Structure 1
Amino acid sequence: MGQIMHEGRLSPAKIYPHDNKAYYGYHGKEQSGTEDIKILCSRYPERFVWVKTKHNEINLLTGHHIVLGGRHPEKTMYFGRILFRTETSVGKVSTGIKENLGLYITQNGEEFNFHSFEILTYNETIAPPTVNIEPV
């Protein structure tokens, strides 16, 4: 999972192991690119939490820090996911001033929209695992 820059717009993208492309939706179709890609990584991955929500309830997630996925004119993008056709697929959650459009994912060249999905949040209060190093 990561981000890609396309025509000056930063968008969430799905990234597969052993594949140098990032896949993202644009104008209803699946696009891919090999440049201007960022991979989401963290020193504390256990602090990332997927939260179930709906397109018209994102504004109710006041106790959560939603992970920013990108920006388009008059829209903010977040990371979302859903199980679709036997694959957990990551995509963009499109929110705007007037309406929240939901989760958009791509698969096999097409783009699909969902109103019920999971959105990625970050909880800094989750303690990282401790490592006990014992002398030999």
Structure 2
Amino acid sequence: MTDRRANRLEQALRDAGVRVTRQRSALLRVIAAAEDHPDAAELHARAVTAGAGVSLATVYRTLTTLQAQGVIDKLEFQGEPARWEAADQHHHDHMIDMDSGAVIEFTDERIERLQAEIAAEMGYDIVHHRLELYVRRR
């Protein structure tokens, strides 16, 4: 999955007219391998650790381009720096632990069904939605 995702990210940059340098290619592999929701600084640190001499500015420009191409999603959680995740994942919602900052993905058919019912009762079909729950352990 990581190789396929990295290839897709690389193609998205090419489609946007961005040259895929060795540094950007290494960054794309880091983004493709992320199984969490890293922010730009975390992605930069991972790329540097992986041996890519990429600047933080290049990370931000690359993320913005990938978002514009629709291959990654920008997650803006309250009071946190923007985080990123691949757009090729199945639909899911997020719980954000207010104490630890952990982001937990979840799906629940009851919530999906209820949202669709509410929209239908009001004369709408859901085109897209995002649900974020800000939580604390009991």
Same fold (TM over 0.5): no
Largest Rg, 1 or 2: 2
Q: TM-score, normalized by length of structure 2? A: 0.22
The TM-score, its normalising length taken from structure 1, stands at 0.22
Looking at secondary structure, tell me which structure has more strand per residue: 1
Q: Which structure carries more relative contact order (alpha carbon 8 Å, separation 6+)? A: 1
Q: Counting helix residues as a fraction of each chain, which structure ranks higher?
A: 2
